[in-house]
Structures are given as structure tokens and as C-alpha cells.
Amino acid sequence: MTLWIPGPTEVRPSILAELARPPIGHRSAGMKDLHHRIDGPLALAFGLAPDSPSTVAVHSASGTAIMEAALHGVGERVLSLINGAFSKRFAAVAEALGKEVTRIEVPMGQVVDPMKVAQALDTKGPFDAMTVVSSETSTGTATPLAPLAKVLENHPNVRFLVDVVSMIAAGPIDFDTHRVDFALAGVQKALALPPGIAVMCCSERYLAEAQKRNRPSWYLDPVRIIEGHAAQKTPATPAVPHYYALAQQLEDISAGVTLPKGHAPVEGPAAWQARYEVHSAMRARTAEWAEGHGLSLLPAPEFAAPAVSCIQAGKLNVAALVAGLAEEDYSISNGYGDLKGKTFRIGHMGDHSLQGLEELLTAADKVIARL
Ligand SMILES: Cc1ncc(COP(=O)(O)O)c(C=O)c1O
């Protein structure tokens, strides 16, 4: 079964093979070497310039755990922008930690208007942090960070916490340009790795403030995680096989190895940019295919996410489409939560190619013709 769900996604055999390496001691020179291999290209994934003061890190946990870690480093008053299941989760995690959460919520598939954010910051604050999900995997909706960064220019004490779970390695994050303070992601989406570890990036501002706060966690203390990673000493025994896979995949992406055959040789930031272009092309092709069936994406075209398309099903029987494709050995997803039966999602992420997408869409044409 080929995974075209919104994560986890397909992992290349050469990356899976990295998981089978014999264990090494996590205080060994080999582990230091792994940290070294990871840090450079991971900084590229977050869009950091070589002289950036921001810091990347890895932790053996899922994306949700790092939402929690990020929130341990900020004050009590949190503004949460909600436009789907995972942005709702970010707010729920903040509440579970005892934060005072103010929500701005819009229907699934929409994006919170930056003007409304400015208004909330001016009239309902002061806030210590703002949470946002840059690509809502539940609705295939991308929230542009630039307008939010602009709004936050007037609120320098608000730490900007961004979930980039289904954005990283599918589209640019530009962490410093967008004044992000903490970005977090699992690796099972567009990084095309098996689930099990998470990656993050934090600003100097965030780290300096977090160092001074009471942080009621040990394993999810962001300062312990970030400083431990920087010192190449993980606080606890890490999932070393996943570090091998991450190091190899990041190196491969940075060397342009994961790009479609025949792509001009590129490396470094240009290779990451080329990967984003592959994702954009898959998004455009999926939207065009949907249109050909009289269907449309849930979000407005300018907010369509690069790694996952959420298609409004109209009269199409979603369960039958998903089941029909499963018979053809392709896995796509029904809509999320209330959108079940009304939408379906195609995760065109990671190392998938336009050619592979074409094969999936041809199979989908066949199933739809049968229905
Ligand atoms: C946007 C987004 N945020 C958070 C999560 C949660 O990540 P995890 O399941 O790794 O905890 C997901 C998982 O699908 C997601 O898509």
C-alpha cells in the first residue's frame, strides 16, 4: 500500500536501512558526529542563514510533545489562532498546562484574519505567547506567517510559537524573517521519515526568557532539550536509529538527491527550494485534477497547503473512494472530524513525485468512474 495520507508518508528504502544500524552509545563520538551531521541541514529546513542566532534541536518525542515543551518556556497568557484540529490541540495543550488561553477561531479551511489578531492583541492582552499552525493538516490550509510577523512587530513581548509539522520540508519557514520564536515539527510528514522524533528551532529571545522561567517539566523542559542538543548531550537516551535516518535524509535533501530524476544538480538552500517547488507543483496538479471532476479544494487557492490537499467531495462517496483506492494499493484519507464524508485528503508530501501523483490520480479516476 502506498501512503498518500497526510502523514506518515512513504520512506525511501535507503532511509529505512539507516534504522537497522547497530546501536551506539549516546555519549559516544559517533553520537556527536550524528548531531554534527544533523545541525547544518536542519538549520536549512527552518530557513536559517549561516549567521543566524537561532538554535535547532531534536528530541525523542512526537510533535504534540514539543507543543507542550514550547509552552513550558513562555508566560501564562496565550493567544491561540484556531482554524482546524491541530491548532485546537495547541490551545488545548496550553490549557492543560494551566495557561490562560484566549482563542480566535474561524471555520475549518479558513485562515484567521491578521487584522483580527492585531485587534485581539491590542484589546484582549497583554499576552505572553501566540500559537499558530502554519499548515493545518486537518484542512490542507496554510496560514501565511509574514502578516502575523508584521502584527507582532507592535507586540515584542509576545513569543510567536508555530507548529510547522506539515510545512517543514514542503515549504519555506523563514524562521528569523518571520520573527518566529519557537517552531516545532514531527518528522513523519514532508521530511519523509518514520515517526518517533521531533525537530525544533528557537530564537535567542525565547531561550533567554525561558531560562529565567519556572518550567514545570523535566523531559519536556525546552531549555534542557535545546541546551542538551547544543552541547551534543541529549538529556536522556535518544532514539538513536531515528537520528541516523534523520541525518541521512537531511543530507540527501540538501544534496538534491531526493529530487525527481533529471532535475538539474542543486545543493544547499537551492536544493531545499527545489523540494518546495516539487510540493507546489503537486499541490497545483491535485487542485487541477479536482477541478476536472467538478470539485474544489476546501481552502481558498491562496491558502492551499503545499503538502496536503483537502478536497470538498460534493456528491462523491468519500468512503467508497478511499476503499476503492485501497483495492488499487493506494491509501488516501477521509476528511478529519466534522469534515469526514464531506472532504477527502491527499498527502502529496515528502519524497513523492509528480509522476507518482499522476499514477495515484489515474487510479482515482478509475475508481470514480466505477462509483
Ligand atoms: C499540524 C499538526 N500538528 C501536530 C500534529 C501532531 O503531531 P504528532 O502526532 O507527531 O504528535 C500533527 C499530526 O498529524 C499535525 O498534522
Q: Does domain 13-253 bear CATH number 3.30.70.20?
A: no
Tell me how far apart the alpha carbons of residues 295 and 365 are, in angstroms, rounded to a whole number. 13
Which whole-number Å values give the CA distances from 302 to 12, 140, 165, 284, 298, in the listed order? 31, 11, 20, 11, 11
- Centre of ligand 1 from the C-alpha of residue 68, in Å: 12
Mutate to test the pocket of ligand 1, among 86, 90, 188 (most ligand atoms within 8 A of CB): 86
Reported as a pLDDT band with limits 50, 70 and 90, residue 286 is: very high
Reported as a pLDDT band with limits 50, 70 and 90, residue 278 is: very high
Going through the chain in order, the beta strands assigned E by DSSP cover 2-3, 55-59, 77-82, 100-105, 129-133, 135-136, 141-142, 159-163, 182-186, 198-202, 296-297, 308-312, 330-331, 333-334, 343-347
Architecture of the domain delimited by 266-370: Alpha-Beta Complex (3.90)
Q: List residues near ligand 1 (CB under 6 A).
A: 7, 62-64, 86, 133, 137, 163, 165-166, 186
Tell me how far apart the alpha carbons of residues 349 and 135 are, in angstroms, rounded to a whole number. 12
Please name the residues in contact with 246: beta carbons below 8 A apart, sequence gap of 6 or more: 38, 42, 58, 187, 191, 193, 197, 199
Angle between helices 318-327 and 354-370 (to 10 degrees): 120
Q: What percent of the chain has pLDDT over 90?
A: 100
- Centre of ligand 1 from the C-alpha of residue 266, in Å: 30
Place of cell 491561540: 80
Tell me how far apart the alpha carbons of residues 103 and 140 are, in angstroms, rounded to a whole number. 21
Q: What is the mean pLDDT of residues 207-211?
A: 98
This prediction has a pTM of: 0.98
Q: Report pLDDT for 63.
A: 98
Tell me how far apart the alpha carbons of residues 35 and 87 are, in angstroms, rounded to a whole number. 30
User: Which is nearest to 202 in space by CA: 177, 184, 189, 229?
Assistant: 184
- Centre of ligand 1 from the C-alpha of residue 86, in Å: 7
Angle at 343 between CA 340 and CA 344, to 5 degrees: 95
Tell me how far apart the alpha carbons of residues 171 and 174 are, in angstroms, rounded to a whole number. 9
9-41: pLDDT as tens digits:
999 999 999 999 999 999 999 999 999 999 999
- Centre of ligand 1 from the C-alpha of residue 141, in Å: 14
- Centre of ligand 1 from the C-alpha of residue 294, in Å: 30
How is the chain split into domains, by residue range? Answer: 13-253, 266-370
Contact 305, 135 (CB under 8 A): yes
Contact 238, 30 (CB under 8 A): no
144-189: pLDDT as tens digits:
999 999 999 999 999 999 999 999 999 999 999 999 999 999 999 9
From the alpha carbon of 64, which atom of ligand 1 is closest? 11
Q: Report pLDDT for 150.
A: 98
From the alpha carbon of 136, which atom of ligand 1 is closest? 1
From the alpha carbon of 84, which atom of ligand 1 is closest? 1
Which whole-number Å values give the CA distances from 339 to 163, 198, 311, in the listed order? 21, 28, 10
Mutate to test the pocket of ligand 1, among 60, 71, 80, 137 (most ligand atoms within 8 A of CB): 137
- Centre of ligand 1 from the C-alpha of residue 8, in Å: 10
The mean pLDDT value of the chain amounts to 98
Angle at 339 between CA 334 and CA 340, to 5 degrees: 40
- Centre of ligand 1 from the C-alpha of residue 9, in Å: 13
- Centre of ligand 1 from the C-alpha of residue 371, in Å: 32
From the alpha carbon of 133, which atom of ligand 1 is closest? 1
Which grid coordinates belong to 206? 525565547
Contact 121, 90 (CB under 8 A): no
Q: Whose CA is nearest to atom 16 of ligand 1?
A: 137
Look up residue 68 and give its amino acid. E
Q: Are strands 159-163 and 129-133 parallel, antiparallel or unpaired?
A: parallel
- In three-state secondary structure terms, 274 is helix
* DSSP-assigned states of every residue in 10-32: ---HHHHHHTTSPP--TTSHHHH
